[in-house]
Structure 1
Amino acid sequence: MKHLSKLLVACLLFTGLSSINAQDKNNPWQVSFGANAIDVYPTNSDKSYAGTWFDEYFNVSDHWNILPSISTVAVSRYVGDGFSVGIRGSLNKIDKLGDMDADDLSHYAVDGTIKYTFVQGTTIEPYIEIGGGYTWIDEIGAGTLNGGLGFNFWFTENLGLNIQSTYKHAFEDYGVPHFQHLAGLSIRFGGTDTDGDGIYDKDDACPEVAGLAAFNGCPDSDGDGIEDSKDACPNEAGPLEFNGCPDSDGDGVPDNLDDCPEVPGLKEFNGCPDSDGDGVPDNKDECPNEAGPAENNGCPWPDRDGDGIPDKDDLCPDKVGTVANNGCPEVTEEVQKALNEYAKTILFDIGKSSIKADSEKVLGDIIAILTQYPNSKFHIEGHTDSSGSDALNMRLSKERANAVEAYLESHGIASDRLTSEGYGETKPIASNATRDGRRQNRRVEINLVKE
């Protein structure tokens, strides 16, 4: 008896120190403790004090031996597929031996158990139990083969009521076959729930962080119905179509991909607007309200002279020109006529190509005209009258044309804008038969080169 008492104390201590949770594959341990009743009457044995099977089975007052204290402690461990194995210890006082009175015989037993629970995870869990053990009545022991039925009624996930009835068949002739009825409390424990979310670590996909059963124990921090591991914005609620991210400006681009999350914009510009419609989003447009090309950061190219040709393409950015002439002014017929009127008055020394000093003013006027058209090219022509030989006239006309070209270049006209040629007496504009005609034929012309 003293050994059983020690066993009871150890089991109770184990119960108090253990954490309490549900018994299953995650939480395999269950401890039960309570009272037991011994009934030797309805056992159908050949003993003189025994009745037939289940005869007066519920006759508590006449046949049941009950010790009014905690008299049974059991420990079991779940091993899978509804099966549990365990050990149970019990003690009692026998003063009713069937229809006979007894002299307070001591009774104690240790049994090994194998239990199968039919339905798990419900409020009422029925089970069957088989096993074997050893029973002592006043120091006389006998081995037993046991079979029982019972159920657990769970008040909470952790605590329940245990009811069981077991028949114990004694092997030895001097043994006492009997029914043992059990009633008490059951506590289930053994699993680990590190994050305390009610989902045990074995089934918890996020055992270190409290979560929801719907997500296998993983959290949904922003409460948008998308677990954090699959939520691109776990701390901001958003719809599934945007992987859990919000769209603050309602432009169809979620905030985590929106370069302008507070202003509605276009998908092709990552959610930013293009106010001036120039194809450059406002966040990259240095002139968001004025259309301009991307290569100039969304700003229009400057056009200082306002001729519609941007300065970068305008060879004459400070003078109004035409597209055909690359932004430079074009030489009109009036300008061409005036240019040649000046050119005809250039004077040379007689029979030479040297320019007289009196011609500097008219050459200055010619230079002023050429300067206004910096993109235009001109051809300088030298002409003579028919006096003298053809060879002399040809040479003289070339030298005079060259002299004018050299003068203009020395006074700032770019050499790549000028060419010169002498034509001698081959292109008269008047009759060489008269003095006035020969005067007109001795001339220099400066003509626009048309490309």
Structure 2
Amino acid sequence: MKKLLFLCTCLAFTFVTNAQTEDRKWNIGIFGGATQYNGDLGNDFYKTDMTFYGVAGLSVSRYLGKYFDLNMAASKGTVAYNRDNGYFNSEFSSLALNLKINFLNPDYIVRPYVFGGLGAMLFDKKFDVNSKKIDYLLPTAGGGLTFRLSPVVVLNLQETFMFTDGDDRDGVTGGSKDAFLTHTLGLSFNLGEKKDADKDGVSDRNDKCPDTPAGVAVDKNGCPLDKDNDGVADYQDECPDVAGSPALNGCPDRDKDGVADAKDRCPDLAGPVALKGCPDSDNDGVADIDDKCPNTIAGYKVDASGCPLDNDKDGVVNNEDRCPDVAGPVALKGCPDTDGDGVADIDDRCPTVKGTIANKGCPDISPQDVKRIAYIAGKIFFENASAKLKGSSFVELNELVLILNRYSGTNLLIEGHTDSNGSDTYNLNLSQERMESVKKYLESQGINSTRLTAIGYGESKPIANNKTSLGRAKNRRVELKTTY
């Protein structure tokens, strides 16, 4: 009887510790069941024609690993036999220590197992034939099934065989030693709190993604769900039902242009991101599907329709229009010609007076004025060996000012020459200084300096023989030439 009680205790203890985990390493449990006897009087194992005798107890266990638990249980019950060939009945208390081996890891709901261990049974004196109160269980063994009802609660069904070192609990000696079988059912409770830093329901030890943001659904490994298996978690995936690229937040990109199909105006033709994935053959910044001028010359500025800009609507595009903001004829590259002389205003030295192309839009100087300018040139005189103008020259120069104002588009070239008296350097410098004097006077009378050019040639360009006084007089001269 004591052996049976001890065996029941061991069995119950083994049951209680099932389904522990690394997170919940301690377990306590309660159990109850029935005992059966096998010894010199007979064998009642797995027979149902005799009254069953009960056993109950408590257990404490410790998780050792995925497949191993260490269990300790205390139990109290009755072992007995009651047939025609004999009778005994004894109450017992027991303590047992078992090592349980699970065939499956704790992730399974149903887990079969076997166990083995040792213990002791303390019997009462009522039916003992001697004064020995304790039998030792060497060994206890058995097996069973556990059913995980929740992470904390486990149901256990177990069979335990207990083989004692005694032979007199049944009142008969000299034969086989007494053995007991217990059938138990019980509940156990796993203790401890699961460590789950990111609160995703998966313990840290099993969590392969321990930093999952709060509220994100995860799989059994603690990683955010990824329904389309594209490497982008659903909570970050803009296209969670279609596999795509991580670079595009999980969305597909058929043409591989870096624009997700859902945002790509041309999902089957590669194009720049700035144009929402559409190509731009002429590189004018307008997608081909919108470009009304698809062959624009490179570098030309275009409008929203992809056509070259023409601000003044004169038919000449800005990049070819010399006057892009003022309408003008195509022949003059988009520039106006106010006086209609064929010279664009921007080039016309006389934009309001009709002239000739040769004169940059200015009219020809009249023959009379041409002669008068030549006459004036011959009346410009200087002090001897000096650049100072003689007083008589100012009357002629003032007339020249009037002519230049009448032909405002003209430029004037002032050329000075000397005879051969004196050195070449002296004559060159003197002629240059004299022409500068003429230029300065004309400027003082309102002629713009940009219209005037003064050049002294010294004695380098004679028009007569310097060996005669007449020739030298001819060589000392000023020449005035109008140009455009």
What TM-score does the superposition give when structure 2 sets the normalisation length? Answer: 0.58
2:93 paired with 1:96: no
Report deviation, 1:133: 1.4
For the structure 1 residues 241 and 33, does the alpha-carbon distance in structure 2 shift closer, same or farther, using more than 3 Å as the test?
same
Q: What is the CA–CA distance in structure 2 between the aligned matches of 1:336 and 1:381, rounded to whole Å?
A: 24
Aligned counterpart, 1:446:
481
Task: Indicate the SS of the match to 2:438.
Answer: helix
**8 Å Cα contact 2:417-2:457 kept in structure 1:** yes
1:218 shift after superposition: 2.9
1:117 aligned to which of 102, 105, 125: 102
Contact 1:135–1:141, Cα closer than 8 Å, also in 2: yes
Determine the C-alpha separation between the residues in 2 that align with 1:215 and 1:153. Answer: 22
Change (3 A) 1:273 1:343: farther
Classify 1:318/1:100 alpha carbon distance in 2 versus 1 (closer, same or farther; 3 Å): farther
In the alignment, what sits opposite 1:253? 258
Note the C-alpha offset of 1:382: 3.5
- Gaps of at least 5 residues in structure 1 are 256-260, 293-298, 311-316, 323-328, 430-437
Give the one of 106, 112, 120 matched to 1:126.
112
1:10-56 per-position Cα deviation (integer Å, ceiling 9, x unaligned): x99xx9xxxx9953334434444332322222x4xxxx42x3xxx44
Matched, 1:79 2:72: no
Counterparts of 1:167 and 1:154 in 2: how far apart (Å)? 21
CA shift, 1:422, in A, is: 4.6
The one of the two structures with greater contact order (alpha-carbon pairs below 8 A, sep at least 6) is: 2
**Code of the aligned partner of 1:181:** T
* Mapped partners of 1:240, 1:357: distance in 2: 93
User: Could you tell which deviates more after superposition, 160-169 or 271-280?
Assistant: 271-280
Paired residues for 1:385-396 under 5 Å:
391=421
Over residues 311-336 of structure 1, what are the superposed CA-to-partner deviations in whole Å (9 max), with x where a residue is unaligned?
xxxxxx982379xxxxxx99749969
| C-alpha deviation, 1:112, in angstroms | 0.9
- The aligned residue for residue 22 of structure 2 is 25
Structure 1 position 179 matched with structure 2 position 180? yes
Aligned equivalent of 2:223? 218
1:392-403 to 2 correspondences below 5 Å: 401-403=435-437
Partner SS state of residue 376, structure 2: coil
Verify the 8 A CA contact 2:348 2:361 in the aligned structure 1: no
The answer to whether 1:59 aligns with 2:47 is yes
Q: Which amino acid aligns with 2:480?
A: E
CA contact (8 A) 1:142 1:175 kept: no
Specify which of 192, 195, 209 is matched with residue 194 of structure 2.
192
CA RMSD of aligned residues (A): 5.5
Secondary structure of the structure 2 residue equivalent to 1:110: strand
Q: Deviations 1:222-277 (Å, cap 9, x if unpaired)?
A: 9665677x79x82744654243526799994358xxxxx79889537596999997
Q: What is the rounded CA distance, in whole Å, between the counterparts of 2:81 and 2:461 in structure 1? A: 161
SS of equivalent residue, structure 2 residue 49: helix
1:162 is aligned, of 156, 159, 183, to: 156
Q: Which residue of 1 aligns with 2:245?
A: 241
> Deviation at 1:402?
3.5
1:276-316 deviations in whole A, cap 9, x for unaligned?
9776799xxx9864869xxxxxx979856777699xxxxxx
| Residue matched to 2:448 | 413
State the match for 1:314 in structure 2. Answer: none
Shift in Å at residue 89 of structure 1?
2.0
CA distance in 2, matches of 1:427, 1:182: 146
Q: Map of 1:263-342 to 2, 5 A cutoff? A: 266-267=271-272, 269=274, 289=304, 319-320=346-347, 332=359, 338=365, 341=370
Q: Counterpart of 2:92?
A: 107
1:201 is aligned, of 204, 216, 221, to 204
Alpha carbons 1:401, 1:444 under 8 Å: kept: no
Larger mean Cα displacement after TM superposition, 330-339 or 113-122: 330-339
Report the identity percentage.
Answer: 17
Change (3 A) 1:419 1:268: farther
Residue type at the aligned position of 1:145:
L
Question: In the superposition, relative to structure 1, how do residues 126 and 249 fare at CA in structure 2: closer, same or farther (>3 Å)?
Answer: closer
Partners of 2:58 and 2:447 in 1: CA distance: 120
Match of 1:382 among 416, 431, 438: 416
Structure 2 letter corresponding to 1:57: F
- Distance in 2 (CA, whole Å) between partners of 1:60 and 1:421 is 147
Correspondence 1:404 to 2:438: yes
TM superposition score normalised by structure 1: 0.61
The equivalent of 2:145 in structure 1 is 152
How far is the alpha carbon of 1:175 from its aligned partner?
5.5
Partner-residue secondary structure (3-state), 1:218: coil
Say which SS state the counterpart of residue 219 (structure 1) adopts: coil
> Counterpart of 2:440 in 1: which secondary structure?
helix
SS at match of 1:360: helix
Give the letter aligned to residue 376 of structure 2.
Answer: I
- Contact kept, 8 Å, 1:134 with 1:141, in 2: the verdict is yes
- CA shift at 1:154, angstroms? 1.9
Aligned to 1:360: 398
Contact 1:142–1:170 (CA under 8 A) maintained in structure 2: yes
| 1:134 Cα deviation after fit | 1.6
For the structure 1 residues 244 and 368, does the alpha-carbon distance in structure 2 shift closer, same or farther, using more than 3 Å as the test? same
CA distance in 2, matches of 1:346, 1:266: 73
How many matched pairs? 378
Distance 1:249 1:174, change over 3 A: closer
**Structure 1 residues 164 and 345, CA, compared in 2 at 3 Å: closer, same or farther?**
same
Is this contact kept in 2: 1:193–1:207, CA < 8 A? Answer: no
**8 Å Cα contact 1:83-1:116 kept in structure 2:** yes
Mapped partners of 1:414, 1:250: distance in 2: 69
